[in-house]
Amino acid sequence: MTIKKLLITGGAGFIGSSVIRHIINNTNHSVVNVDKLTYAGNLESLTSIENNPKYAFEQVDICNAAEIKRVFNQYQPDIVMHLAAESHVDRSIDGPGEFIQTNIVGTYVLLEGARDYWSSLEEDKKEGFRFHHVSTDEVYGDLEGTDDLFTEQTPYAPSSPYSAAKASSDHLVRAWQRTFKLPTLITNCSNNYGPYQFPEKLIPLIILNALEGKDLPIYGNGKQIRDWLYVDDHARALLHVALTGKVSETYNIGGHNELQNIDVVKTVCSILDKLVPSKLDGIDRYEQLITYVGDRAGHDVRYAIDATKIANELNWTPDETFATGIKKTIEWYLNNMTWCKNVQDGSYQRERLGNL
């Protein structure tokens, strides 16, 4: 396969850094990482590949049209993989404005920058160009039935400011493909977990809180169901779609691991009990730290992905089960407590600013 140059937005984030490590470590393709470096952008997640000649980093806000144009002209990418987004539902409820700006306006600016660049290309390079927009299953809203699954034809019904902003960006991408013929692809994924995930998310939050003897907060009754996808499986899928997917198509990416949140938390506690038995006073099992808190506003009950299309058309399936993936995840956090502490105390941001 022809060697490609990928421009990846949000590459210092959880999923983006996994994609970049996968590309640099396992392929001959090169990467330009464009990231604003908000709180969720952590260059420490890329230290293993930061000096690789196939990798370049640009600290750029995707809402900055002039800088986006410069990056396109300077690096001449073959593929854009757009992951940059505000992504935490709780934060979107507390302050929707940043989500509107980054997820909607930022996607518009990037689409226009890509369209301008793509229009100027020679015909052979123009033909091979792709704009891959990475989205979420949360745009589909809530599943009521126990057997229902999100397919690529499921109508959009977002519940939170976060998912509404992502749904808006999906619509923009489809409009730019239909109106301007920009060669786009969209993927919608289920809940990701794995190494380097920011500790505000459920699984790393539970791991680190348990080790510190803090409460393990569970929204409502904890029976909300999610489909869990190991992040390195997702990274493989994203590159595969970018390289082999059909223009204008959407592909749902799922992990085939539907679990209630409470069962996820209890599984994490059980594994921690074996790997690092509790030395906390009065706590024999980490599960004793579980605390139920008021439910999130507009909390969806169930998400579940039908990933038949990507399996049948692109021959992609996940390698990890939840049992294998969660064990790898917990072991990674236990072996990388310096990374965790740097995130928790904010030093990863201070060190980053000092180096820029």
What does the pLDDT read at residue 146?
64
**Which residue in 75, 162, 303, 333 is the catalytic one?**
162
pLDDT digits (tens, 9 = 90+) for 172-215: 999 999 999 999 999 999 999 999 999 889 999 999 999 999 99
pLDDT tens per residue across span 131-156 = 999 999 999 998 876 678 999 999 99
- 35, 86, 137, 227: the catalytic one is 137
Q: In the predicted model, what is the mean pLDDT of residues 106-114?
A: 98
- For residue 297, the model assigns a pLDDT of 83
Mean pLDDT, residues 281-294: 96
Output the CA–CA distances (angstroms, integers) from residue 37 to 13, 51, 71, 198, 271, in the order listed.
8, 18, 16, 13, 33
Alpha-carbon distance of 65 to 71, in angstroms, equals 10
- Whose CA is closest to 242, among 320, 166, 185? 185
Q: What is the mean pLDDT of the chain?
A: 95
The CA angle 37-43-48, to the nearest 5 degrees, is 160
Taking 60 as the threshold, does the pLDDT of residue 351 lie above it?
no
pLDDT at 354: 46
Q: Taking the CA of residue 310 as centre, how many other CA atoms within 13 Å lie in the half-sphere pointing to its CB? A: 30
Q: Is the model's pLDDT at 105 over the cut of 50? A: yes
pLDDT band at residue 89 under the 50/70/90 scheme: confident
Q: Is 138 tagged catalytic?
A: yes
All structural domains of the chain: 5-198+228-260+299-325 (3.40.50.720)
In which band, very low, low, confident or very high, does the pLDDT at 356 lie, cut at 50, 70 and 90?
very low
| Angle between the N-to-C axes of helices 202-211 and 337-344, in degrees from 0 to 180, rounded to the nearest 10 | 100
Rounded to an integer, the average pLDDT of 85-103 is 91
Output the pLDDT for position 15. 97
Residue 283, Cα to own-chain centre: how many angstroms?
A: 34
303 is known as an active-site residue? no
Q: Residue 355: which pLDDT band, with cuts at 50, 70 and 90? A: very low
Per annotation, catalytic residue among 138, 227, 232, 258: 138
- Is residue 58 part of the annotated active site? The answer reads no
Show the beta-strand stretches assigned E in the chain. 5-9, 30-34, 55-58, 79-82, 130-136, 184-189, 191-193, 216-219, 225-230, 250-253, 258-260, 290-293
Q: Per the confidence metrics, is the pTM higher than 0.75?
A: yes
